[in-house]
Structure 1
C-alpha cells in the first residue's frame, strides 16, 4: 500500500534520464522525437524497489526551458526530489530555475546527485562541489547530501541506493481517508479500453467501479480499470503513480491539468487567495493585475496577480495576494503553485493557496489582511469559525473540504457548545450571522409596524424580499429558527416582532363599532370595503385591522362578518339535510339576499371544499371539509 514518488530535476543534458535508466533499467524517453534529439520532452515514469522492499515511483522530468510546463506537471505531487547536476558543467540556468520551482512545491526531501563524474578530474569535481555548496547556502537546500555517480559504469550507485533508503524512510504519509483526488498529467487512448488518464493520486483511494467526477467541467465518470506501476490492481492509494481507465468520457473531453476526484470534493474557481513569495534574483516588480502564468496541480493557466499586502511585489517579498484566472481550475486549500512571467519566460514566484473560493475585494483593508492571516496560520477551530462566518449554511463536509485535512466534527460541536456557531438542519451558521439577520429583520419589522400599526404583521414574502439574502430557502430556515426560539412571531404567512400587538385607539374603537353595526345591519346584502370606508384613511385602517380576525372579504371586496359567514354555512347544511341537495334559489331565499351574493357565498363554500357542484346544484362534503379559513 505504501508508495513514495521521487522526481528528478535539473538542467538539460545533465543525465537525468540516463540516471533513471541505470537505476531502474527502464528508459523513460519513449517518444521517437526524444530518442532522435537525445532530450526529454514529455514526462517519463517508472518504478524502483529499494532493498528494504519500499517501492519508489520515479517521475523523470524534461530539463529544457521550453518544456518547463511539462516539468511542473510532473513535479507536483512528488515526495522527494533528486536534483541532478553534471560534474562537467556544474549549476546551470535551468538548474537554478528548477530549484526555485521545487522550493514552492512543498516537497519534503531532497538529494543532490552529481552525475558524469567520469568526465572530470578530481580537482575540477571538488571545485564544482564547492560551487554547489556555496550556491545553496542559506537556501532551503542548505545541508543537502551530495552523492557522486557515473551512470555508465554505475559507480556510486550503491551509495545512491543507500541514500534513497535514508531519504524516503520517514516521508510523511499521505491520507487514505480523504476523498480521492488525482491531477491529470497525461491523457491518451488505449485500443480496447478507451480513455486513460495518469497522475499521482494525491489523497484517498480509488477502486474499480468507483463513480468520480472530472473537474473543472464536472464530467461524471466511472473507473473501469486501474494500474499502478504497469500492473492491474483493484485499488490505488494516495502517493501512488496511477493510471485510470475511465468510461463515459472521450479523450477529447479531457486535458492535462484536469482533476479526477470524488463528487463535490474540490473547489472549482477562477479566483484564489494565496500566500506568495517572490524569488530573490528577479528584477520584476508585480503590481495590480500583472499578467502571469499560474501552475497548480498539473494545470497551466493565464492569471492576473493582485497584491494585497504590498502595493508591488518585488524580489524576496512574501505576503498575500488574490489571483484572478481566465479559466476555472479545481483546487483545495493548501495546494502549492508556481508563477512564471509571460515574456521573457522565467519563474518569478510561488506559494500556497489559503482560500480556494474567496470573495472579490474592492479594497485592501486591515480586516481583509487579518482574515488572510487567520486562514493561513490559525488553528483548525479558528479556521472553521472563520470559514462558517464567511460561508453560512456550510455542512461539515464543506468545512472539512476547505481545511483539506482529516478533521473530526467534534471541533464544530465544541464551537457550537460555546455558542460561537449554531447547527440548523445539519448546517452551520455563525452566531454573529444569526444576530445580524435577527436585528435586520427586527429593524424592518419595527419600521413596518410603525407605518402599519393595526396590521398584525408583515407578509413573510415581503420580509424575505426586503432582507435581500441570496438564498431564499436559507432565509426561510433562519426565519423559522427565529420564530421557534421566540425572537419573532410567525403566524401563518405574517411575521411580527415578538412584543408587537396591534392596539386600537379610543377613536378607532368607535369606528370599529360603527363598521360592525353597518355590516351586520345590511344582512346578506353586502357592501364593498370602499362603500364602508368612504375613502377615509382611518376607516380603511380599522377595516383592514378587522379583516385580520373579525371580517371576511369575498371577491369584488364585499365584506361580511365571521358570524354571518358561519350562519350562512349552517343554513346551507340545514337545507341539504332537508332536501338532500343544495340549490341556489333555496339558499338565496333562506338568507334573504340576491342571486349575486348567494352565488358568491356558494363559490366560497366550493373553494373551501365544504360543498361540491353537481350540475347547477351542490352537495356537502362534510367528511372532507377542512374547517375553512376562519
Structure 2
C-alpha cells in the first residue's frame, strides 16, 4: 500500500472503527497517509479545530504521523482541490517498488469471462509477470500459463510490481483456486504451517493475549486460524511487543517480510512482520534465540544471512535469497563478503555451492572427527568407518559428498574404498587376533581346494587378509587362499581355451573338491565376468 486515506467525519469525530483502521495501518507498516476530515460544512470552526487536534494526537505515534490533514466538504467542494494536491504530494514521495525477481500475485478475486476462461486479480509484488509466462499457483502447486494481462482495464504485455493486475490463466478451473492463493514463477515458493514473527498488540485492547490462544491470521489476501506460541512470556499486554510463532491451521504461501494481522471473533488484536516463513519449532525462554531473531529482523544483509544459517544450514545462495527475502544480487554480494571474511564456509563451488557458518562448519568437523576417533577405538582392527555410517551419525543428508570432500581437502580425514579414517589411524592387531589369522591361513594351505568353514576369523580380521591379498572370498563362508584361487583360475582358463567350455562336474573333479566349492568358484568367475554360464556349461566371457 503506497498511501492510506483516513476518513474522519467532522460531525462525528474519531470513532472506534477509526482507531481500529489506524491501528491496522500501523501494524502493516503503511508509511504515508492523508487524513480527510469530511462534512466540514456541518460544523463550526471551533468544532473543526477540535476534531483536527484529536486527529493529530491520534496519529502522532503511528507510521503515518505528521501526515497532512485536510478538511473537505463534498457538498460545497471546499477543500477538494487541496485534498487532491496533498494526495499527489504524498504519492510523489513513494519509493520504487522492490523487485526481487520472484513475482507474487496474491489472488483476491476469482471469476470467469466467457470466451477467456479463468481470471484472477490481485496486487503484484516483488517482481514482474509477462504474457505467455509459465506460472505456478501456491500453495497447491498447480501449473498454468498467463494467456492475458490487464492493468487498470488496459491490456499489457508485462505487469510490474505495485500494479493492480488481472491475469487470464490457461487450464485452471475457478474451483481449483481460492482467495489467498499466490501466482508466481515455478519452483521456489513453498507453503508453510509454522511462522516466526514479531508481534505487537493494539494498545486499546482490554485484556492480554495468552500463550496458546487461537486467533484468525490474515496476510496478503489469505486467512486461516492459528495458535500463538509466545517465546518470551506467558502473555502479552495491550501495546506490548513480543516474539512469537504461529502454528497455522492451513498452509500459506508467504515469505519473510510479509505483514500480517491477527483477530479474535470480535476485534483486531495485533500484527507485525514475518521473520521466518519456514520456521522450526523454537524453544521458549531462550535469550540466544531472541538475539538471533533480532539480527534477522533488523541487522545488515550479512547479519541476517548469518542469523538465518544459524537456524538452518547448509543452504544455497538462491535459498538464502528467497528465505531472507533479498534479491539474488544482494544475497550473492553479502555471501561473497562473508566467505572472504571467513565467516561462511562454502561446500563445493559454482552457483550451487552450499554455505555454512564457520562456527557451524567447525561444529560439524568436531563431530565428524570425534565419531571417527570413537569408531577407531571400538574397532582398531578395521581400516576405517564406512562412509554411510558417518552420514547416518552426523545426519548429513544430501550434502554428505560435499562435506566429506571438504574434510578431505582440509586434511582432516582420508577416504579409501568407501571407508573413512583419520590420518593418524593405523590398523592394530592383538596377539590373539594374529594367532587366529595364522591358524586360518595354515588350515587353508592344508586343504587348498576344500577350505574349512569353521575357522574363518571375524569380519575385521578377514577384511585385513583380503586387503593384504592373502585370501579371496568367492562366496558366503567360502574363502580360498590367494595361491589356491590363482591355481584354480589358471587351470579353468586353460581348459576353456582348449575345449571351449567346462562343466560344474569337471571343475569339481579337476580339483578333487566338492560340488559346493566348485559351484562357488564358477559363480564367482561369472560375477567377475571371467566366465559366463550357458545352460550347464561355462565359457570364457
Match of 1:302 in 2: 225
Residue 404 (structure 1) aligned with residue 325 (structure 2): yes
Q: Structure 1: where are the runs of 5+ without partners?
A: 1-77, 534-538, 622-630
**Contact 2:135–2:186 at 8 Å: present in 1 too?**
yes
- Alpha-carbon shift at residue 548 of structure 1 (Å): 4.1
**Contact 2:373–2:422 at 8 Å: present in 1 too?**
yes
Q: Structure 2: where are the runs of 5+ without partners?
A: none
Match of 1:602 in 2: 522
Q: Secondary structure at the match of 1:444?
A: helix
**Contact 1:114–1:147 at 8 Å: present in 2 too?**
yes
The equivalent position to 2:234 in structure 1, one of 311, 315, 326, is 311
Match of 1:118 in 2: 41
Match of 1:456 in 2: 383
Match of 1:188 in 2: 111
Match of 2:399 in 1: 474
Residue 525 (structure 1) aligned with residue 455 (structure 2): no
Match of 1:88 in 2: 11
Partner deviation per Cα, 1:219-241 (whole Å, 9 max, x = no partner): 22211111100111111000111
Match of 2:157 in 1: 234
- Using the TM superposition, name which of 325-334 and 172-181 deviates more: 172-181
Match of 1:33 in 2: none
**Contact 1:456–1:548 at 8 Å: present in 2 too?**
no
- Alpha-carbon shift at residue 541 of structure 1 (Å): 5.7
Across the aligned residues of Structure 1 and Structure 2, the Cα RMSD in angstroms comes to: 2.3
**Contact 1:555–1:600 at 8 Å: present in 2 too?**
yes
Partner deviation per Cα, 1:435-480 (whole Å, 9 max, x = no partner): 333332333333332232212223333333333x2x6322344234
**Contact 2:100–2:325 at 8 Å: present in 1 too?**
no
Q: Distance in 2 between matches of 1:351 and 1:106?
A: 8
Match of 1:257 in 2: 180
Residue 564 (structure 1) aligned with residue 484 (structure 2): yes
Q: Distance in 2 between matches of 1:532 and 1:397?
A: 54
Residue 280 (structure 1) aligned with residue 203 (structure 2): yes
Q: How does 1:5-44 map to 2 (within 5 A)?
A: none
Partner deviation per Cα, 1:280-324 (whole Å, 9 max, x = no partner): 211121121112222111122212222223331112211211122
Residue 545 (structure 1) aligned with residue 464 (structure 2): yes
TM-score norm. by structure 1 comes to 0.80
TM-score norm. by structure 2 comes to 0.92
- Using the TM superposition, name which of 96-105 and 430-439 deviates more: 430-439
Q: Distance in 1 between matches of 2:85 and 2:113?
A: 38
Q: Distance in 2 between matches of 1:224 and 1:152?
A: 45
Runs of 4+ in 1 over 4 A off after TM superposition: none
Distance 1:563 1:431, change over 3 A: farther
**Contact 1:184–1:255 at 8 Å: present in 2 too?**
yes
**Contact 2:30–2:64 at 8 Å: present in 1 too?**
no
**Contact 2:31–2:64 at 8 Å: present in 1 too?**
no
The equivalent position to 2:293 in structure 1, one of 372, 388, 391, is 372
Q: How many residues align?
A: 534
**Contact 2:219–2:258 at 8 Å: present in 1 too?**
yes
Match of 1:490 in 2: 415
**Contact 2:233–2:285 at 8 Å: present in 1 too?**
no
Match of 2:51 in 1: 128
Match of 1:431 in 2: 358
Match of 2:262 in 1: 339
- Alpha-carbon shift at residue 592 of structure 1 (Å): 4.0
**Contact 2:449–2:512 at 8 Å: present in 1 too?**
yes
Q: Distance in 1 between matches of 2:275 and 2:15?
A: 33
- Using the TM superposition, name which of 551-560 and 274-283 deviates more: 551-560
Q: Distance in 2 between matches of 1:420 and 1:135?
A: 46
Partner deviation per Cα, 1:462-519 (whole Å, 9 max, x = no partner): 333333x2x6322344234434543223222323233212123455444433322221
- Alpha-carbon shift at residue 417 of structure 1 (Å): 2.6
The equivalent position to 2:189 in structure 1, one of 266, 270, 273, is 266
The equivalent position to 2:167 in structure 1, one of 244, 265, 271, is 244
- Using the TM superposition, name which of 104-113 and 515-524 deviates more: 515-524
- Alpha-carbon shift at residue 378 of structure 1 (Å): 1.4
Distance 1:128 1:532, change over 3 A: closer
Q: Distance in 2 between matches of 1:313 and 1:129?
A: 32
Distance 1:594 1:300, change over 3 A: closer
